């Protein structure tokens, strides 16, 4: 039995070595897309508008449209309230103190204010910035993103590698430069 186990393990190791990183990334991306679709099927999100980007797999579902007509432009300073969670609804980060307390992630050493970023400078993960690119000032939306547009295979404390993520975004303010 030991010889058979060794042969099987050797075969699996050889097979795993034949799959390229690009193929692995594609498989992970396809699995993320399926998981996002399952999340959408199982969760009734309030929606006044929806956008799906077929190239990235990012889905944006608006809960509120402001009608402000003010979209972010490169170099603008944005203030965004957000809540980040996994597809299992576990919250891992937020700019809202009440949400942090409700989800047992409150940190007394942190200030809970809208996140301030310079838009177009890659200061946030690509899926987060992509979601903001479609939002007007005052909009509230949920952005679902495959791991490739989140943290990918990076080691981030508290966020497992290759995690598809959900961000609830409230684009509070846009200040033009």
Rounded distance between C-alpha atoms, residue 87 and residue 68, angstroms: 30
Please return the burial class of 106, using the count of CB atoms within 10 Å of its CB with bins 0-12, 13-18 and 19+: middle
pLDDT, one tens digit per residue, over 104-123 is 999 999 999 999 999 999 99
pLDDT, one tens digit per residue, over 68-106 is 999 999 999 999 999 999 999 999 999 999 999 999 999
pLDDT of residue 7: 44
């Amino acid at each position: 039995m030991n010889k058979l186990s060794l042969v099987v393990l050797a075969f699996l190791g050889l097979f795993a070595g034949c799959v390229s990183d690009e193929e692995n990334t594609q498989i992970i991306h396809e699995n993320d897309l399926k998981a996002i679709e399952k999340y959408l099927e199982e969760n009734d999100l309030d929606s006044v508008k929806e956008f799906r980007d077929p190239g990235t797999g990012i889905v944006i579902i608006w809960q509120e449209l402001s009608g402000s007509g003010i979209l972010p432009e490169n170099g603008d300073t944005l203030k965004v309230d957000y809540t980040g969670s996994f597809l299992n609804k576990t919250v891992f980060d937020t700019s809202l103190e009440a949400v942090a307390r409700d989800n047992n992630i409150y940190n007394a050493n942190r200030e809970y204010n809208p996140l301030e970023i310079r838009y177009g400078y890659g200061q946030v993960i690509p899926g987060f910035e992509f979601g903001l690119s479609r939002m007007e000032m005052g909009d509230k939306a949920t952005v679902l993103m495959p791991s490739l547009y989140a943290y990918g295979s990076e080691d981030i404390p508290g966020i497992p590698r290759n995690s598809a993520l959900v961000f609830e975004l409230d684009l509070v303010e846009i200040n033009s430069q």
